[in-house]
Structure 1
Amino acid sequence: MDLPAALVPPLSFPLTPFTDDDRFAADVFAAHVDQQIAAGTSAVFVACGTGEFTALGRDEYREVLGVAVRTAAGRVPVFAGAGGGPAAARACLADAADCGAEGVLLLPPYLVSSTPRGVLGHIRYVVHDSPLPVIVYQRANARLDPATALALLDLEQVVGLKDGLGDIEHMQRIVATVRTSGHPRAAGFAFLNGLPTAELSARAYRAIGVGSYSSAVHAFAPDLAHAFARALDSGDDARVDALLAAFLLPLADLRDTVPGYAVSLVKAGARLEGIPVGPVRPPLVEALPEHVEQLARIIAAGRAVLA
């Protein structure tokens, strides 16, 4: 089983908009996804971390996927987040296939910690009869070692590994083990950088053979996300450094001030851009007014670099 398309960064992880009376705002979401695609992303990953997967009911989850698939209309592949316990995650994969998604990002199992072998067993259980290609998200309690990462290649449905741990040496061991294994799927297996504000670590990950990355910035400032990616691809170190200094490093510092800002600050940024994505759902908390003002200044500083 192959990926439905090359995952050229920056990858889009759209927000899930809610109305003030706590309903899924389907029209806003459709417009948001359309804007993300028009900006030039190679894939959209909906109902994932930035899309508040854990806050969605099953009917809402299916509606989010359906709207995304209809809006994309084949222009780019739509990947669906899936997670929870093994049975719940397996049900998500079935829903994703039924709704027309072209792939799945498998989030860590709910709450329970285990060994790398146990995580591999969880993945095997979830994907065993899925018709969709699956990218495994390694983060939190879903940590693989090189041997179990290599064993993923024996699962036909698993086509890639997204890293959210940020341990470069550990990830280098995994990449090298897979690429030099001689496994018939080794060359085509995908590796993605999935750290928050992944642009900060894009150079380091690229050096170990992980060129693709997710971009939360793309959800509220796709112009800045693509400008950074173009500079990185072309070797324009001066522009990469300027965007890091003026925009990405201050953004990451602000993100780190409050737990959950990796989502709520992105929603605040989208609202600043005129996208009525509404509030976050608990336990996330809204960005403080002074932090929203600071975010507006950071976005303006990033665009000043491009001017």
Structure 2
Amino acid sequence: MIMHKTSPKGILGFPVTPMKENGEIDTDAFVMNVEFLLESGLDAIFPACGAGEYTSLDTQEYEQLVKLCVETVAGKVPVYTGVGGNIQEAKKRAEISEEQGADGYLIMPPYLIKGSQNGLYEYFAQIAKTTDLNAIVYQRNNAILSADTLARLAQIEQVVGFKDGDGNMEKNSEFSHRFTGEIDFLNGIPMAEVTMAVYMPLGYESYSSAISNYIPHVSRKYFEALKSGDKETAKEIYEDVILPLNRIRVKGEGYAVSLIKAGMEIVGLPVGQTVRAPIDAVSPEHFKEMEAVLKTVLEKYPNEIYEKYTAKIT
């Protein structure tokens, strides 16, 4: 039975996949990450997606993470998994998501190939129709949709949302005007807080927040300031937090993932910095830069929630 023709609204949490030094998944740390996001008030949890190093997970690991996440969330907020890449693997993981009780999935771009518009339609449509779960289409890199292609996808009952990771605001404006009321719109630009002030007037009511893994209270404060029109607070947080962190993020390939783990270590959340190739860990130089930024951030924007998860905040 199809669930709901709607997608999660608000700040979306994308937990990392913590790994031990030998490369094995640290399930205890993963559960802690999910619990931290829940207690911090995130509006949905998206395990095993980009931030969770989806492309490096085998099927058994994927199923384990989805199962743990659904059990930990226990219905408090929606759980959307990541599927994509190899289309046959994506269909299998969609089925796993349904079997494990997820609410839906985010369909990420196909592996390597840049398809035609009809080819992209078939890719997203076939995966979306694999189960009765809600599906969100993720536009990014080699999967850039035309308005006509999105119109076709919006007619599929399972497709409830469109997530943009491309940043073409002319196209985003066209999409949001043309399809408002048919599907929901999500901001999926890496470190989406950088662009949310521009996306929100177009009707993008949700965004994936990388920094919510380590400073969720700041992301929430910024989001609420944008919604309420508190320009002074939004500007202050943008300059104090968002821009400094984003300047570090763009210094390294793969930092959209590894910088999250570094940030979590800095604030005392034990997930480690181990990542899987081709992602590389944050360099010592950039780690120190991030330490300095977060020290200032936590002095100005303290949060008692950390005390529950760590005895000491660096």
Q: Give the TM-score, by structure 1 length.
A: 0.94
Matched residue type, 2:276:
R
- Secondary structure, in 3 states, of the residue corresponding to 1:137? strand
Deviation track 1:143-188 (CA, whole Å, cap 9, x = no partner) reads 1111111111221111110000011111111122213xxxxxxx15
Please state how far the C-alpha of 1:252 moved relative to its aligned partner.
0.9
Q: CA deviation at 1:303?
A: 3.4
Q: Deviations over 1:227-284 (max 9, x none)?
A: 1112112211111111111111111111001110111011100111222212111111
CA contact (8 A) 1:133 1:159 kept: yes
The aligned counterpart of 1:30 is 31
TM alignment of 1:40-59, pairs within 5 A? 40-59=41-60
CA contact (8 A) 1:2 1:159 kept: no
Residue identity over aligned pairs, in percent, reads: 35
Q: Gapped runs of 5+ residues in structure 2? A: 303-314
In the alignment, which residue of structure 1 is the partner of 2:129? 128
> Quick check: 1:13–1:46 contact (8 Å CA) kept in 2?
yes
1:236 to 230, 234, 249: 230
- What is aligned with 1:95? 96
Contact 1:138 1:162 in 2 (8 A): yes
Matches within 5 A, 1:185-264: 187-264=181-258
CA 1:262–1:178 in structure 2 vs 1: closer, same or farther (change >3 Å)? Answer: same
Aligned to 1:10, what secondary structure does the other structure show? strand
Name the SS of the counterpart of 1:111 in structure 2.
Answer: coil
SS at match of 1:82: strand
Query: Which residue pairs with 1:184 in the alignment?
Result: none
- The CA deviation string for residues 4-27 of structure 1, in whole angstroms up to 9 with x for no partner, is 876232210011111112111111
Alignment check: 8 A CA contact 1:3 1:133 kept: yes
Contact 1:243 1:302 in 2 (8 A): no
Does 1:15 pair with 2:10?
no
Q: Which residue of 2 aligns with 1:163?
A: 164
* C-alpha deviation, 1:96, in angstroms: 0.7
Give the CA deviation at 1:128.
Answer: 2.2
Against the structure 1 CA distance between its residues 12 and 85, is the aligned structure 2 distance closer, same or farther, given a 3 Å change threshold? same
Summarize the Cα distance change of 1:4–1:300 in structure 2 as closer, same or farther, 3 Å threshold.
farther
Counterpart residue number, 1:297? 292
- Contact in 1 for aligned 2:81/2:104 (Cα 8 Å): yes
CA distance in 2, matches of 1:3, 1:200: 30
**SS of residue in 2 equivalent to 1:46:** coil
Equivalent in the alignment of 2:86: 85
> Letter of the aligned partner of 2:186 in structure 1?
L
Note if 1:176 corresponds to 2:170: no
Which position in structure 2 is the counterpart of 1:68?
69
1:77 offset after TM fit, Å? 1.1
Provide TM-score, normalisation by structure 2: 0.92
For the aligned residue pairs, the C-alpha RMSD in angstroms reads 1.5
Describe the shift of the 1:223–1:209 C-alpha distance in structure 2 as closer, same or farther (beyond 3 A): same
Q: Is 1:107 matched up with 2:108?
A: yes
**CA deviation after TM superposition for structure 1 residue 296, in Å:** 1.5
Runs of 4+ in 1 over 6 A off after TM superposition: none
1:159 & 1:38 partners in 2: Cα distance?
A: 26
> After alignment, is 243-252 or 121-130 more displaced?
121-130
CA contact (8 A) 2:5 2:158 kept: no
Supply the distance in 2 between the matched residues of 1:77 and 1:306 (Cα, whole angstroms).
28
> What SS does the aligned partner of 1:205 have?
helix
Instruction: From the superposition, tell whether residues 253 and 68 of structure 1 become closer, same or farther in structure 2 (CA, over 3 Å).
Output: same
Aligned counterparts of 1:152 and 1:260: Cα–Cα separation in 2: 30
Distance 1:33 1:290, change over 3 A: same
Separation of aligned partners in 1, 2:51 and 2:98: 21
Match of 2:266 in 1: 272
Q: 1:41 to 1:3 in 2, by over 3 A?
A: farther
Are 2:138 and 1:137 equivalent residues in the alignment?
yes
**Structure 1: runs of 5+ lacking an equivalent:** 180-186
Stretch moving more, 135-144 or 202-211:
202-211
Tell me how far apart the structure 2 counterparts of residues 54 and 44 of structure 1 sit (CA, whole Å).
18
Deviates more, 1:44-53 or 1:22-31: 22-31
SS in 1 for 2:91: helix
Where does residue 278 of structure 2 map in the other structure?
Answer: 283
Per-residue deviation, 1:197: 1.0
